[in-house]
Amino acid sequence: MRIHELIENLKNNNNMKNTPKSILICIFVSMLSAGCGLLDVTRTDSEEAVISEVEEITVCNPIPDKEISNVPLTPRQKSFVMCGNAFAIRLLDQISSTQEGSFIFSPISVALDFSMLAAGTTDSASEILTALGYDKSDMAEFNNYYKTLIEGLPAVDLSTKLKLSNAVIVSKAYSIKDSFRNVIQNNYYGAVESMAFDKPDRVKQIINDWVSKNTEGLIPEFLRDFSPDITACMLNAIYFKAGWLEPFNPELTKEDVFNSPEGEVKKDFMVSQQECDFLENDSFSCVSIPMGKKGKFSMTMVLPNKGEDINAVIGTIEKEGWESLSGKMRSEQVLVKIPKQDLKSEFDLIPLLKSVGINRVFQASDFSLMVEQTPAIFRVSQALQKATMTLDEGGIEAAAATFIGMEGISPQGYEQPKVKYFTADRPYLFCIQENTSGAILFVGLNNG
């Protein structure tokens, strides 16, 4: 039965005679989306357009129903965490040396998006994985590592909310390979959607709605525009909300001076004396403040000593490794004095990722692992991230979203007990991480 025939039948129903046709179409579309597949429906072109208007991206991220003591990583996967953290500090170094002011950034969001990209290409996967910091490992092992993180990170503390959401959207002009669909769905818990890209504004709105939903509304307008040349895209969204293990007392919050590169500025400083992991040396001091009801998450802040350059400190951490820094910290009683923060950032990822060694995928790559058509030549023409974080006496709420836009191109263009003091009254860097795995979720710099 065709759609217009069903509509006429509905209109002829005594209870429906005064119902406008537009409402009847909506009723029928709702029946289809609710899974009422009892009809053998043959759609005309105009009817297909009506159906396509209600497309949305499925939300597939796992919701843990019980708490686990730690993320269950194999020794090999623990080495992957170290590689991912090294990638995070490399990006922090690149951003801090080229961008003025404070920022917040999620390296794990970029890594997840480009790992899904690597799963679809035959000739750029090695370069992507090398740039992300991973050796040329078995792709199935690598994909399983991300499956472990996506399942495990949200489950270590159910009082903390962490969502890692992924999606791949491909134009209906292409047929998505089942093998690629299975990797994205089974390992990345990603939605894999085939969608008409003929109305860029509609696709942009669908993406923005998905990002807003998966960041709890913190990033409501992710994309400002959507190029009509894009024929496939990768999406990641991360949302994090956690309280401090020992909340800061709002009554102790006082205005004080923050010494930014531009001069003195007034900030509201929170104060608390608590037991924290702490380290101080000739160049900097750092403190790790536990978060959640069990301290399974933390915010680590690195404060250069007066007269020390923050980029030099980042360079030292990059050289020695984040794990070397965290391994030297010891539990101390620390009087912590840090400013409240409200950060929003936006990044063009293409120059940033080129600087760490990803190049080929921005020119032309074979994506025959993703789609059935040959030649399956695409290039990444757009890659961006937006991130936001609010830090106050109660804890931290942060989110980020990463977008990779791909264009299908012609094959002609193809080429292969003593109280310590930590007063963050000058620029400092910070990271938010899950502690049982050590995985860094967000990094940033506060310049005031």
Q: What is the pLDDT of residues 160-170, one digit of tens each?
A: 999 999 999 99
Gap between the Cα atoms of 415 and 338, Å rounded: 51
Report H helices in 20-106. Answer: 21-33, 45-52, 75-98
Question: Is residue 268 scored above 60 in pLDDT?
Answer: yes
pLDDT tens column, 19-77: 433 333 232 223 223 333 322 333 334 333 333 443 678 877 888 889 999 999 999 99
Q: In terms of pLDDT, which residue wins out, 290 or 98?
A: 290
Question: Is residue 415 scored above 60 in pLDDT?
Answer: no
Question: Is residue 138 scored above 90 in pLDDT?
Answer: no
pLDDT tens column, 281-334: 999 999 999 999 999 999 999 999 999 999 999 999 999 999 988 899 999 999
Gap between the Cα atoms of 177 and 371, Å rounded: 5
Task: State the average pLDDT over residues 259-280.
Answer: 93
The DSSP symbol for 175 reads P
Backbone angles phi, psi at 59, to 5 degrees: -100, 120
What is this structure's pTM? 0.82
Q: Which pLDDT value is given to residue 8? A: 46
pLDDT tens column, 325-381: 889 999 999 999 999 999 999 999 999 999 999 999 998 899 999 999 888 999 999
The token pair at 358 is 């990803």
pLDDT tens column, 422-432: 788 888 888 88
| Beta-sheet pairing, 232-243 with 161-171 | antiparallel
**Across the chain, what does the average pLDDT equal?**
85
* 186: confidence class by pLDDT, cuts 50, 70, 90: very high
Q: Amino acid identity, residue 202?
A: R
Cβ atoms 399, 115 nearer than 8 A: no
Q: Which pLDDT value is given to residue 135? A: 67
Q: Lowest-pLDDT range, 11-15, 74-78, 93-97, 393-397?
A: 11-15
Cβ atoms 297, 432 nearer than 8 A: yes
Cβ atoms 443, 76 nearer than 8 A: no
Q: End-to-end CA distance of the chain, in Å?
A: 65
Contacts of 269 (CB under 8 A, 6+ apart): 253, 254, 255, 256, 337, 338, 339, 340, 425
Question: Domains in the chain, please, with CATH?
Answer: 3-52 (no CATH), 75-242+342-413 (3.30.497.10), 244-339+419-446 (2.30.39.10)
Q: In terms of pLDDT, which residue wins out, 262 or 416?
A: 262
Beta-strand (E) ranges in 261-418? 263-280, 284-291, 297-304, 330-339, 341-348, 365-366, 377-392, 395-408
Contacts of 217 (CB under 8 A, 6+ apart): none
SS3 144: helix
* 411: confidence class by pLDDT, cuts 50, 70, 90: very low
Cβ atoms 233, 222 nearer than 8 A: no
Q: Which pLDDT value is given to residue 329? A: 93
Question: Is residue 409 scored above 80 in pLDDT?
Answer: no
Task: State the average pLDDT over residues 241-250.
Answer: 96
What are the Cα distances from residue 431, in Å, to 108, 239, 281, 297? 12, 15, 19, 11
Neighbours of 374 (CB within 10 A): 9
